[in-house]
Amino acid sequence: MKNESLVCFAGNDWWVHNPLTEKQWTRYLARQGWTVLFVNSIGVGFPAKGSPYIFRRLRNKLRSLLYWLRKDDGVWVLTPFLLPFWSVAWIRRMNVFLITLQVRFAMKRAGMQPGVFWAGLPTAGLLRSHIPHRRCVYYVQDDYPSYSSFDHQMFMRIHEDHAELLRAADVVICASIGLAEREAQYARRVEYIPQGVNPVFLDADLDDHTEVPELLREIPRPIIGYWGSLEALHDRDLVGALARRHPEWSFVFFGRKMTDVSELEALPNVHYPGFLPIEEIPRYGVHFDVGFISFKQTDYTMYGCPIKYREYLALGLPVVAPYIIEVERAYEGEGLTARTLDEFSARFREAMESDSPQRRRHRRALVEKETWDHSSGRVRAVLESLGESD
């Protein structure tokens, strides 16, 4: 492109969240000579009073605000001051004014000229006409319209903002097959670019089972395992039903407990050992017999692209999940999906009976090139193609 500048209204927070998609991609672009302004999430709604996450979210946002504008790893990072009540018309107008001032100041500080406007969440579309740019990209990483059905949330505007960005964007980048197929009905151009795989999973030795880590030593095999946050999407009813039906199977969930799992912990074959740093996960994961995506069946999960799916495959694990389009179709025959308790029982048996060292190496081979640099390179190619018509 003639002007390699990007203002990224991200769907997450540079200082708070794990370095996932947009952080990985913008760091890559900065290494390639782009001038990047990463705007920490401006949100899409606000937790209602009953939300268990309200104080944690407020604490994290205040911590991030202390940095305000800072350069890190070659990327300019801005945490704009705003009031996260996007459903209130006058606050929405005030937020647009405040964010515009802060972003324009940051762009001037970074020496940026109008380039690419990147919307990583629907509310960013409200800023599109206020921030100088030449091209617009909409990154759809979730089923945003389904947010309005979440408990404890106020997302009144999300349908309108999402639909407007689909129409306005020069290109819509989708994180999953399901999203790409759906948004292609409304957008002028759609690109499917899933998330990359962290190298710690691709570097793990699939054949080294000599030492079982301490937290797994007393747990009988077979082990049906999971890692990641244990939030409201964690299907406690399904886990409980499976554990009671199959006392011969052990269910192990590594992650921060952000929902009440005390009833499940009382079962002898269900284990919640706690949080593991990402560098430690492969050492445990290679000892799982099946990787379990233990999400509730919703539209949100059905259209999503769970990053742990490719992480499981990188460790050679067979995968069982609720019906998720990405799991069903990304690698034909590798992701086993189910909708009912009987189907889950059958899929877990199938996963364990058909597994072998050769199948594990085959699963690794399916994703071994899907690194963060690979997906970042695809994003860069899409962005550069936007300048060809200038």
- Which CATH number is 381's domain given? 3.40.50.11010
Closest CA to 183 of 170, 193, 173: 173
Mean pLDDT of 110-117: 96
Cis amide prior to 222 (ω within 30 degrees): yes
The whole-number pLDDT of residue 60 equals 67
Whether residue 80 sits in one domain with residue 52: yes
Tokens of 258: 């952000």
The whole-number pLDDT of residue 153 equals 47
Sign, CA torsion 199/368/29/330: negative
Torsion of Cα atoms, 186 then 192 then 196 then 201, to 10°: 110
Q: From CA 67, how far away is CA 84, in angstroms rounded?
A: 18
Whether residue 165 sits in one domain with residue 220: no
Whether residue 215 sits in one domain with residue 314: yes
Give the HSE-up count for residue 268: Cα atoms under 13 Å, Cβ half-sphere. 6
Domain with 212 in it: what CATH number?
3.40.50.2000
Whether residue 231 sits in one domain with residue 179: no
Mean pLDDT of 370-381: 95
Asked if pLDDT for residue 387 goes beyond 60, the answer is yes
Whether residue 86 sits in one domain with residue 24: yes
In the chain, what is the greatest distance between 2 CA atoms, to the nearest angstrom?
64
Q: What angle (nearest 5°) sits at the alpha carbon of residue 153, between those of residues 152 and 158?
A: 160
The whole-number pLDDT of residue 47 equals 53
Cα 106 to chain centroid distance, Å, stands at: 27
Whether residue 205 sits in one domain with residue 142: no
pLDDT, tens only, 240-283: 999 999 999 999 999 999 899 999 999 999 999 999 999 999 99
Whether residue 207 sits in one domain with residue 185: no
Asked if pLDDT for residue 377 goes beyond 80, the answer is yes
pLDDT, tens only, 201-241: 999 999 877 789 999 999 999 999 999 989 989 999 999 99
Asked if pLDDT for residue 28 goes beyond 80, the answer is yes
pTM: 0.91
Please report, rounded to a whole number, the percentage of residues in the chain having pLDDT higher than 70: 91
Give the HSE-up count for residue 222: Cα atoms under 13 Å, Cβ half-sphere. 17
Whether residue 159 sits in one domain with residue 17: yes
Q: Rg of the chain over CA atoms, in angstroms?
A: 22
Whether residue 102 sits in one domain with residue 188: yes
Residue 178 · residue 337 · CB < 8 Å: no
Alpha helices in 290-356 (DSSP H): 299-302, 307-314, 325-329, 341-353
Closest CA to 320 of 249, 196, 226, 202: 226
pLDDT, tens only, 31-50: 999 999 999 999 876 554 44
The whole-number pLDDT of residue 152 equals 43
Q: Which domain holds residue 355?
A: 199-367
Sign, CA torsion 243/246/247/250: negative
Whether residue 270 sits in one domain with residue 385: no
Whether residue 220 sits in one domain with residue 161: no
Count of the separate structural domains present in the chain:
2
The whole-number pLDDT of residue 85 equals 80
Mean pLDDT of 139-148: 86
Please provide the average confidence, as pLDDT, over all residues in the chain: 91
Higher-confidence residue: 346 or 50? 346
Asked if pLDDT for residue 155 goes beyond 60, the answer is no
Whether residue 156 sits in one domain with residue 10: yes
